[in-house]
Amino acid sequence: MNLLILESTCDETAAAVVNDEFQVLGAAVASQDELHRQFQGVVPEIAARAHVERILPIIDLTLSRAGITLQQIDAVAVANTPGLAGSLVVGLVAAKTLCLTLGVPLIAINHVHAHLYACQLEAAKPVFPAVGLVVSGGHTTLFDCQSSAEFNVLGGTIDDAAGEAFDKVASMLGLPYPGGPVISRLARSGNRRAHSFPRSFAKEPRRLQFSFSGLKTAVRYALVGPGKPDFSQVKLSEQQLADLAASFEEAVVECLVAKARHALAHTGHRRLCVGGGVAANTRLRELLHEAAVADDFELHIAPPTLCTDNAIMGAIAIERWRAGKLESLDLDIVPGLMR
Ligand code: KG4
Ligand code: ZN
């Protein structure tokens, strides 16, 4: 059984062919970073239009990498939730069209669940049940994952997502989009204790929520002080920039690790799965490993290549296919996160 998987929830157009043994036969990702860089964040309309231009070439490239033709596809899976409405529609329409013309079934993917399933693809044994932490540009959410088919939201951010905070702080510091990788690189030569930035809710074990807006404001005040809106003229030395990046990164990462520990204590799970673009962050991975040793839990972090958006993690659809969970061609997009 060959499954064609499509991913177009945000600003990556991606496809993969995975068989029912979970072997990846071919995959491709077209990033839109360069289109959104001048706006320092994703512009939904630009993202949707770029998906329209790229989805067919990406499918062709994926099939040629897999060495198969469309006629050898047995089912099509697509991420239809959550994401940007215009972006989701492009993937869903492409998937439905293929299902209709090829006469093959359609399978729905929850993109956020797929980020966690990336942990399973790397592991030699089942990773669920577990606490799941998704840290991406659009989501920062804790799940109680009973199985690969049952993900219940425990809590999430009340304002920005962790990746969004990286991107917005990078913008304040005059650094390019996406901000996560560049802040992480600068942070390596910075002092993590140079600024004492807030760690919202980190000392409230019963509160399974995140907030990064106060942290963003604190970085802004460190740049210009309160009441002064214009930070575009601020000139920082290399060391000042590195110290800000390191102190900011440490604050985000400490909050994520603290809340993951709280969620483990709250649910009684002894296993943690972490996925999403921010899970590629080296410092986060380091502190999670330290926490796993200190608290004696089993840690699964998505492999770095499967942290940012890709279609391979959509192999969670194989589980749905095995369970007979197929969709009609009436399937719609659901832009918001389902609880
Ligand atoms: O999962 P993803 O590709 O897209 C969403 O589903 O949102 O995540 C993209 C986010 C961006 O905000 C980017 O800045 C962040 O992941 N990111 C990182 C790193 N690599 C990507 N954040 C921190 N450290 C990184 N190394
Ligand atoms: Zn994502």
Tens digit of each residue's pLDDT (9 = 90 or more) over 67-125: 999 999 999 999 999 999 999 999 999 999 999 999 999 999 999 999 999 999 999 89
Same domain, 293 and 193: yes
pLDDT at 201 over 70: yes
Given 3-state DSSP classes, what are the helix, strand and coil percentages for the chain, each rounded to the nearest 5? 45, 20, 35
pLDDT at 339 over 80: no
pLDDT at 188 over 90: yes
Query: What is the rounded average pLDDT of the residues 134-158?
Result: 97
Is 61 domain-assigned? yes
Tokens encoding 301: 């972090």
Identify the residue whose C-alpha is closest to ligand 1 atom 10. 137
Same domain, 250 and 317: no
- pLDDT band at 232; cut points 50, 70, 90: confident
Task: Look at residue 227 in the predicted model and tell me its pLDDT.
Answer: 75
Q: Residue 162: which of 187, 190, 142 has the closest Cα?
A: 142
Tens digit of each residue's pLDDT (9 = 90 or more) over 245-266: 999 999 999 999 999 999 999 9
Same domain, 94 and 138: no
Given the CA of residue 308, which atom of ligand 1 is nearest to it? 3
Q: How far is CA 308 from the centre of its chain?
A: 6
Given the CA of residue 309, which atom of ligand 1 is nearest to it? 3
Is any atom of ligand 1 closer than 6 Å to the C-beta of 13? no
Task: Look at residue 290 in the predicted model and tell me its pLDDT.
Answer: 98
pLDDT at 224 over 90: no
CA neighbours closer than 13 Å in the CB half-sphere of residue 136: 26
pTM metric for this prediction: 0.96
Is any atom of ligand 1 closer than 6 Å to the C-beta of 248? no
Angle at CA 106, nearest 5°, toward 103 and 112?
Answer: 160
pLDDT at 220 over 70: yes
In this structure, the strands spanning 130-135 and 271-275 are parallel
Angle at CA 315, nearest 5°, toward 293 and 259?
Answer: 35
Q: Residue 52: which of 102, 22, 15, 90 has the closest Cα?
A: 90
Q: Name the domain count of the chain.
A: 2
Residue 97 lies in domain: 2-104+309-322
Q: Residue 244: which of 178, 196, 177 has the closest Cα?
A: 196
- pLDDT band at 231; cut points 50, 70, 90: confident
Number of the ligand closest to the Cα of 249: 1
Same domain, 288 and 313: no
Contact 13, 54 (CB under 8 A): yes
Residue entry with tokens 């391979």: 312
Is any atom of ligand 1 closer than 6 Å to the C-beta of 10? yes
Tokens encoding 317: 């659809």
Tens digit of each residue's pLDDT (9 = 90 or more) over 202-216: 999 999 999 999 999
Same domain, 137 and 81: no
